[in-house]
Amino acid sequence: NAGVTQTPKFQVLKTGQSMTLQCAQDMNHEYMSWYRQDPGMGLRLIHYSVGAGITDQGEVPNGYNVSRSTTEDFPLRLLSAAPSQTSVYFCASSPEGLGGNTIYFGEGSWLTVV
Amino acid sequence: GENVEQHPSTLSVQEGDSAVIKCTYSDSASNYFPWYKQELGKGPQLIIDIRSNVGEKKDQRIAVTLNKTAKHFSLHITETQPEDSAVYFCAASRGNSGNTPLVFGKGTRLSVIA
């Protein structure tokens, strides 16, 4: 069982570069989301999706874009990387709603912007 | 919106002792309270959850208590073992009502000393 798969695991970007963090899940979950984790800040929601073709903003969406063309994939795009986007990024999926049942997280993507 | 406060931020206990982590929330409409464990280099994983119609829930060495009147809930780990060392996050949401996402606390780093 692959679960939620994120790539890449580690990435170093220069300020102003763009990149895409990939996320795929094989559990046929309707709900997917992206969080960032910073020291002392816990997990903060960036964007989420309640199904293919539907996305919405979370708590900290600025500087990020998402799309959901299939149930399985939910990529996160950094448009013009800034040092403030240095963080650990987690993709997650859930079968029933965004906050009422188990959320399954990927293993994380460590991003450094220099 | 919801605000979740978590204490302490770090906790060290001797192996075999108990550990208690406390969280408070602000939204009286929140009715779902999960706890996630994050091991080093991994994504968070659900370990136990409680809903507002229940005051306490146990699963082997872990238990969660909820006081809706006071808007606080706690995680209790008894007979701690070295493998309990991790970062623990509490969270709160209105369940699946309106698809409101989880709001996480900032985390507690638990160290179990052998």
Subunit contact B104:A42, Cβ cutoff 8 A: yes
Subunit contact B97:A100, Cβ cutoff 8 A: yes
Helices (H), chain A: none
Residue B53 clears pLDDT 90, i.e. is over it: no
Q: Among residues 19-78 of chain A, which lie with CB inside 8 Å of chain B?
A: 31, 33, 40-45, 48, 50, 58
pLDDT at B95: 79
Look up residue A16 and give its two tokens: 């102003």
Instruction: Note whether A98 contacts B: Cβ–Cβ < 8 A.
Output: yes
Mutant choice from B36, B104, B108, B109 vs A, greatest count of A C-beta within 10 A: B104
Q: Which of A42, A96, A105 sits opposite B107 (nearest CB)?
A: A42
Average pLDDT, chain B: 94
Question: Residue B50 — very low, low, confident or very high, per pLDDT cuts 50/70/90?
Answer: very high
Q: Which of A100, A106, A107 sits opposite B96 (nearest CB)?
A: A100
Q: How far is B60 from chain A (nearest CA, A)?
A: 19
Helix (H) or strand (E) holding B105: none
Q: From CA B34, how far away is CA A100, in angstroms rounded?
A: 9
Instruction: Note whether A99 contacts B: Cβ–Cβ < 8 A.
Output: yes
pLDDT at A2: 76
User: Using CB atoms within 10 A of its CB, is residue A87 exposed (0-12), middle (13-18) or buried (19+)?
Assistant: buried
At position A88, the amino acid (one-letter code) is V
pLDDT at B101: 87
Look up residue A12 and give its two tokens: 């170093």
Look up residue A74 and give its two tokens: 């939910």
Give per-residue pLDDT as tens, A36-88: 999 888 899 999 999 999 999 999 999 999 999 999 999 999 999 999 999 99
- Looking at chain B, which residue has its C-alpha nearest residue A5? B43
Instruction: Note whether A105 contacts B: Cβ–Cβ < 8 A.
Output: yes
Subunit contact A97:B99, Cβ cutoff 8 A: yes
Give per-residue pLDDT as tens, B70-111: 999 999 999 999 999 999 999 999 876 657 889 999 999 999
Q: How far is A95 from chain B (nearest CA, A)?
A: 11
Q: Which of A33, A42, A90 sits opposite B101 (nearest CB)?
A: A33
How many other β-carbons are positioned within 10 Å of the β-carbon of residue B56?
12
